[in-house]
Amino acid sequence: MHALYFSEFGGPEVLQYGTVPRPEVLPGTVLLRTRAIGLNYADVYRRRGNYHLVGQPPYLLGYEAAGEVVAVGPGVTGAHMGQRAAFADVPHANAEFVRVPQEHLIPLPNDVSFEQAAAVLLQGLTAQYLTADSYRLQPNDLAVVHAVAGGVGLMLTQLIRAKGGRVIGLTSSEAKRQEALRAGAEAVFLYTESWEQLVLEYRPERPGADVVYESVGSTLPQSLAATRVGGTVVFFGMAGGDPAPVDPRYLMDTSKTLTGGDLWSYLTSREERTARANVLFDLIRNGQLTASIGAAFPLADGAAAHRLLESRKSTGKILLLP
């Protein structure tokens, strides 16, 4: 089969497209022919060597894809040949075929396309737990979303709006500001502005945000400053660098909460994956969640897709198409 792989850590130039052995179907697994693959920043971290990789090169990136089942291993229940399905947490997705453990397989409704699923699942499931578990968002809550025009940011914006919340977005350019406004943010500030002061002034009767979704890392002090007394900062990423240490006495004095979030704490069973994915599919069906696909590249052009993602000029989701 054809796949996108690399044998040494580095920039996009280390990625190669070629032939690798097709995975063997094992007991409790299925073989999925991929039709659309989601590209995520974690793939960049792995390619650079920032994240630990198991095994020996060549390494295949990717954890998210959608397609159809072409082989079913012994002992598998609830899956059949030709079934439309997807996954959000299975390695080696940058290939024409992926071996998927049955507990990771998510049935895909006929009214959700392969492209929608690959664009929504990983980032949408992240937004889902952030608004339902890390912080239980309530109607009229004022939420600040970092990197609002990115994949998770756009998903967060739509899920917050679906719950009746209000969104202030933060981004780096005017074009991205407009993208976030189209997604439902009621205001978007640029990082070049004094955005924490603008957030504090946005709701004079109750200064500060009820919740700030912090994914930049280096901006954690400003996020805490922009949060109202008694509010919450949810830390779930550090795309812009490591956060500074936080003195717990500050949290005590301001009655603020700093909490963390990780998707893998919630995708713990087949039932959890399916139930949480169905929440997203229902929102898509109801028109409350749109998969914003910023670009799609042939899998063979994966290096170009990585360059676009690293450029910080993309909006929405980048897909790889086998």
CATH code of 2-120+265-321, in short, is 3.90.180.10
What is the tens place of the pLDDT at every residue in 131-164? 999 999 999 999 999 999 888 999 999 999 999 9
Helix orientation angle between 270-285 and 151-162, rounded to the nearest 10 degrees: 70
pLDDT in tens, 162-214: 999 999 999 999 999 999 999 999 999 999 999 999 999 999 999 999 999 99
187 has which bridge partners? 168
CATH fold of 139-259: Rossmann fold (3.40.50)
- Model confidence pLDDT, tens digit, residues 268-313: 999 999 999 999 999 999 999 998 888 999 999 999 999 999 887 7
Q: Give start and end residues of each alpha helix (H) in 237-314.
A: 248-254, 270-285, 302-310
244 to 1, 46, 209, 241: CA distances (angstroms)? 45, 24, 21, 9
The DSSP output letter for 82 is T
Count CA atoms closer than 13 A to 7's CA, side-chain side.
5
- Residues 169, 192: contact at Cβ < 8 Å? no
Report the predicted TM-score, pTM, of the whole model to 2 decimal places: 0.91
Contact predicate 261/235, CB 8 Å: yes
Interval 5-19: pLDDT, tens: 999 999 999 999 999
pLDDT at 141: 98
* Cα angle 219-222-228, degrees, rounded to a multiple of 5: 135
Residue 50 neighbours by CB under 8 Å, 6+ apart: none
Q: Is 230 left (phi over 0), alpha (psi -120 to 50) or beta?
A: left
| Gap between the Cα atoms of 261 and 266, Å rounded | 10
- pLDDT(315) > 80: no
Residue spans of the domains in the chain: they are: 2-120+265-321, 139-259
**d(C-alpha 221, C-alpha 225), whole Å:** 6
Q: How far apart are CA 151 and CA 13, in angstroms?
A: 24
Amino acid of residue 82: G
